[in-house]
Chain A
Amino acid sequence: MEFLLELLTEEMPASHVRSGLQQLGERLRAEIAGASVEVRKLETMGTPRRLVAVGDFGAGQPDSEQAVTGPPKAAAIAPDGSYTQAARGFARSQGIPESALVVVKTAKGEYMGFTRRAKGIPTGELLVGIVPRVLGSLSFPKMMRWGTGQLRFSRPLHGLLCLFDGKPLDLAFEGLAARDETVGHRIFAPRTIVVRTLADYMEGLRGAEVIVDPGERRQAIAGQIEAFLNPLKAKVYPDPGLLEELIYNVEHPLVVFGAFPEAFLSLPIEVLSTAMREGQKLFSVVRDRKQLPRFLGVADAVRDAKGLIRSGNERVLRARLEDARFFWDQDRKLPLAERAAGLKNVVFQEKLGSYDDKAQRLKKLAGYLCDKLGAAGLKKDIITAAGLCKADLLTEMVREFSGLQGKMGGLYARLEGYPTAVHQAVYEHYQPAGLEDEAPTSLAGAVLSAADKLDSIVGVIGLGIEVTGSSDPFGLRRNAHGVCKVILDKKLRVPFPLLLTRALAGYGDRLTLKREEVKRYCLEFFSGRMRFILEKQGFRYDLVGAALGPGLDQILDVLLRVKALDALKSSPLFEPFILMAKRINNILKDQPAGKVDPELLIEKEERELHSTFSIIRDNAAPMIARGDFGRAQSILFKIQPALNVFFDKVLVMAGEKRLRKNRLGLLQAINRTLLAIADYSQVVVEGEKAVPPVRR
């Protein structure tokens, strides 16, 4: 039966609409399915003013039957055929007449009993409880109160439409009684629309200039953009984030196509597109990768018959570009290197000092990274870049458009004639802004980016500031994702713990926590982030756990390990190998570390295992060192026959202590080599009950 819910609100931010719809869908489904009602369909959609759920649910809970048994027949029926005290007591306690008792045959014999039948509750009645509960559970990143009420929500609420099977449900949420009506577009058709069915709702609103389905709005925007741009063979400068936002900013999208004076094309494309995007949320237009003096905007309107929407946006954009040109001209009057001197007065973090302090630390840390990466040729340029990279925080342009930080520094550095490596590194050092963003293209940019982010992470963690579920005030997760992404994408081989040590040393005695403690916490933190990144890439959680087992000596190796495991997981040798590794692991549990003495290997099978293992280890070691875990793993497979024979013929836990210790020592040596590739004990194989670890 058809279900329709609409919560009418004042204009919510796009991110709130998206998350509100997701919560609404998930929680409705959980509640309804949880009440044993069939959910044939449940979808959500919405606009800035509407959170909507539509569904097709069963009519009600199924009727239930429950067999209830009481006393044995022998004790329940007296010789004269009447019910005994026991039978009567049972009937009374169950609230049924004695006449309802019947004899039930069970495996244990004959008992008195009856079948309890319960009518299922109709879905409509269940929804009266469910809907207000679900709406009351919605939460948003920033909530507000209004009027004299105490409810906190994204924006004030105005109406609740809730129909089941064509009838309004008798329910209320925070004083809003559910009705069978909604209203049209705020400006173009602010009239009441009475609704009985989903079709009424969609068509009624369409007639009132509201397109409820975001997918349809997306298509409308794309279609209108193409109609403008195809004849010009031009394209939108891609900005998927902006499109996603605009879809949820309007109820009736209308694309407007405007122009700005060509003189502004002397500004860099970064500045132009940012000036267009911020504030007015306009798209830039390019042809053959060159900016055209045009823009596209998405209005919440039906038509622009008088061209006022276009010309209004043109006027506003012109003023913004005027400002941008003023900043561009002003900023270039002072060379970056001189500007950088002012960073002494810009606080990076109260206890961690100024941005000048940060720049000085970055010079050292980035220089160290160069050495470790064998990129000594870049060192001079990277150190120059480290000294300049924060200077643009003091430019007018970055004050106005904070999203251009780094980029402006890079652009100004290029104009001042710095070498390519320098201005590129400055330009790219904030990248990637998140997991979805691109890592720097240049090695210099990658090095500076990783150094900058790592410096922030160890500093903030060093002050004892913790990242918890919802609290990450300094964006440490994003920074850590940036570091990992740079290392993985650029395939940087750096000893990570040493890098942390260097980063920590840069802070001298500014930090609150002890360095060893910070380092331990950072390793744990990065391990958690790597787990998140790799699982997000689709690797099995247990393989990720196994790949993280050997630690974070090389972050890049974690990826290579999990890839090797993933590639080999369907090999017929894999499962027996895992079981064998687990067996070794179990045997060695709680055993003190020991050594193997070849002289004490008295059985043929253990000598053979020892020599096979020695060859395998010597072959695998260089592969492990260079990160070729796939091949190392394949070689390790070859130890299986010898191990099987060993386990068959040799008693590890021998009575004689010397022999026992020696055999354990041999297994420990094997285990150490295995652990250099993965912690196989974490891999789940068929037949084992897997419990996913608690996520952090």
Chain B
Amino acid sequence: MSVQGLILDLHTFWAGRGCYLAPSYDLEVGAGTMTPDTFFRVLGSRPWKVGYVQPSRRPKDGRYAENPNRVQKHFQYQVIMKPSPAEIQDMYLGSLAAIGVELKDHDLRFDEDNWESPTIGAWGVGWQVLLDGLEITQFTYFQQCGGIDLSPVPVEITYGLDRLEMFLEQKDNIYDLDWSGDVSYRDLRFREEKEFSEYNFNAADVGGLRRMFDLFEREAARLIGRDLLLPAYDMCLKCSHTFNLLDSRGAISVTERVKMIGQIRELVNGVAEKFTAGKAAS
């Protein structure tokens, strides 16, 4: 049992359900939802099926590698099916069986949880899936993205890979996981978590980050003006990550937080609006 084995099982399972297996996106994102393979593809009417691993950064969750559960970068397995198939819940249960969960020995619950991401103007209705009280998946019927109503409705299934593997290996410490037969999570991630925690909480240059935020924001706006929507969206992602770093440095007041999230959302909504308008025209 290993993280790698888990990823392979999920890849095999979802590829078998018609998903295109996308490479992880090469920018810092807070969640798999934010990458173009989800963001742009849930807009418009074209069907889409995709599965991918996405490293997700939450600078504030760093704990200097001292907490057995929390890390500033974790791994999500993201699935999008659009339109949402009628049998998607059964399909999802099938994926759990495929990774070795004997459901009859456990308590599996679809527990109300309506996900939203104010930064990218997205929200949906669905559940957090609890397995013996552990949240292993976010299961969402997307209703809106980039401020635009979605039709057909995509379903998003986001597995927390680290948590799920801890569950499967019955381990209490994330660093005790095996990534592969020879390589442990500790080998790969321990130093990274330590150094990034120091960076996120203490070392990051606040003044520099603020200038970067402004720079990325202006660049995004400029690119939207020139209809270069994918690069513009990349700039929005950079804004978002820069904002998260400033936040973990404790540099953002509550008022400022609302304002900055609003700035990013406005840009993202602008991208989505132009993107769907262009689609309708072409």
Contacts and interface: CB of A to CB of B under 8 A. Distances in A.
B86 A312 contact: no
Given A142-B114, A146-B153, A308-B132, A300 B109 contact: yes
Contacts of A312: 106-107, 131-134, 167
Nearest to B258: A347
24 contacts: A11-B109, A144-B125, A146-B155, A147-B83, A147-B86, A147-B152, A155-B125, A249-B109, A250-B109, A256-B107, A279-B133, A299-B107, A300-B107, A300-B108, A308-B105, A309-B105, A309-B132, A312-B131, A312-B133, A316-B132, A319-B69, A319-B172, A322-B69, A323-B69
Nearest to B112: A13
Nearest to B107: A299
Contacts of B12: none
A306 interface: yes
A345 B132 contact: no
Sorted nearest first, the 4 A-B pairs with minimum C-beta distance are: A312-B132, A299-B107, A11-B110, A144-B125
Interface in B84-137: 84-86, 89, 93, 103-112, 114, 124-125, 127, 130-135
B49 to A, nearest CB: 14
B141 to A, nearest CB: 5
Interface hub of A143, A299, A306 (most chain B Cβ within 10 A) = A299
Given A147-B152, A158-B86, A316-B133, 14 more contacts: A145-B143, A146-B153, A148-B151, A186-B93, A187-B93, A282-B133, A300-B108, A301-B106, A309-B105, A309-B107, A312-B131, A315-B134, A316-B134, A346-B254
A156 interface: yes
Contacts of B254: 345-347
Contacts of B172: 315, 318-319
Interface string A346-390: 110000000000000000000000000000000000000000000
Contact of A145 (B89, B151, B167): B151
Interface in A9-29: 10-11, 13-14
B69 A301 contact: no
Interface in A119-168: 142-148, 150, 155-156, 158
A280 interface: yes
Contact of A187 (B104, B112, B124, B258): B104
A297 interface: yes
A346 B255 CA distance: 7
B18 interface: no
Contacts of B125: 142-144, 155
Interface in A231-279: 249-250, 254, 256, 279
Contact of B133 (A48, A297, A301, A345): A297
Interface hub of B107, B110, B130, B134 (most chain A Cβ within 10 A) = B107
A148 B152 contact: yes
A11 B93 CA distance: 14
Contacts of A256: 107
A156 B132 contact: no
Contacts of A300: 107-109
Given A147-B152, A316-B133, A316-B134, A11 B106 contact: no
Contacts of A319: 68-69, 172
Main secondary structure of the interface of B (DSSP, over half): mixed
B128 to A, nearest CB: 9
Interface hub of A306, A316, A317 (most chain B Cβ within 10 A) = A316
A578 to B, nearest CB: 51
A147 B167 contact: no
Interface in B234-253: 253
A605 to B, nearest CB: 73
Contacts of B109: 11, 249-250, 300
A318 B104 CA distance: 24
A289 B68 CA distance: 33
Contacts of A155: 125
A305 interface: yes
A382 B69 CA distance: 41
A306 B105 contact: yes
A311 to B, nearest CB: 8
A317 B133 contact: yes
Nearest to A14: B112
A10 B106 contact: no
Nearest to B167: A312
B153 A188 contact: no
A456 interface: no
Given A145-B153, A146-B141, A147-B86, A187 B133 contact: no
A308 to B, nearest CB: 5
B168 to A, nearest CB: 11
Contacts of B153: 144-148
B133 A146 contact: no
A634 to B, nearest CB: 55
B84 A313 contact: no
A585 to B, nearest CB: 54
Interface hub of A143, A146, A306, A326 (most chain B Cβ within 10 A) = A146
A328 to B, nearest CB: 15
A147 B85 CA distance: 6
Interface hub of B103, B105, B135, B155 (most chain A Cβ within 10 A) = B105
Contacts of A11: 109-112, 127
A188 B102 CA distance: 11
Contact of A309 (B69, B84, B106, B152): B106
B142 to A, nearest CB: 10
Contacts of B89: 10, 186
B169 to A, nearest CB: 12
Contacts of A305: 105
B84 A146 contact: yes
Given A144-B141, A144-B143, A280 B127 contact: no
B165 to A, nearest CB: 14
Contacts of A158: 86
Nearest to B256: A345
A96 B183 CA distance: 94
Given A300-B107, A319-B68, A313 B112 contact: no
Given A144-B125, A145-B143, A148-B83, A10 B110 contact: yes
A145 B83 CA distance: 11
A334 to B, nearest CB: 13
A59 B253 CA distance: 68
A147 B81 CA distance: 10
Nearest to A346: B254
Given A279-B133, A316-B134, A308 B143 contact: no
Nearest to B113: A13
Given A306-B105, A319-B68, A249 B86 contact: no
Interface hub of B67, B89, B125 (most chain A Cβ within 10 A) = B125
B117 to A, nearest CB: 17
Interface in B160-181: 167, 172
B110 A188 contact: no
A345 B86 CA distance: 47
A139 to B, nearest CB: 14
A323 B67 CA distance: 9
Contacts of A279: 133, 135
Interface hub of A250, A280, A312 (most chain B Cβ within 10 A) = A312
A685 B154 CA distance: 61
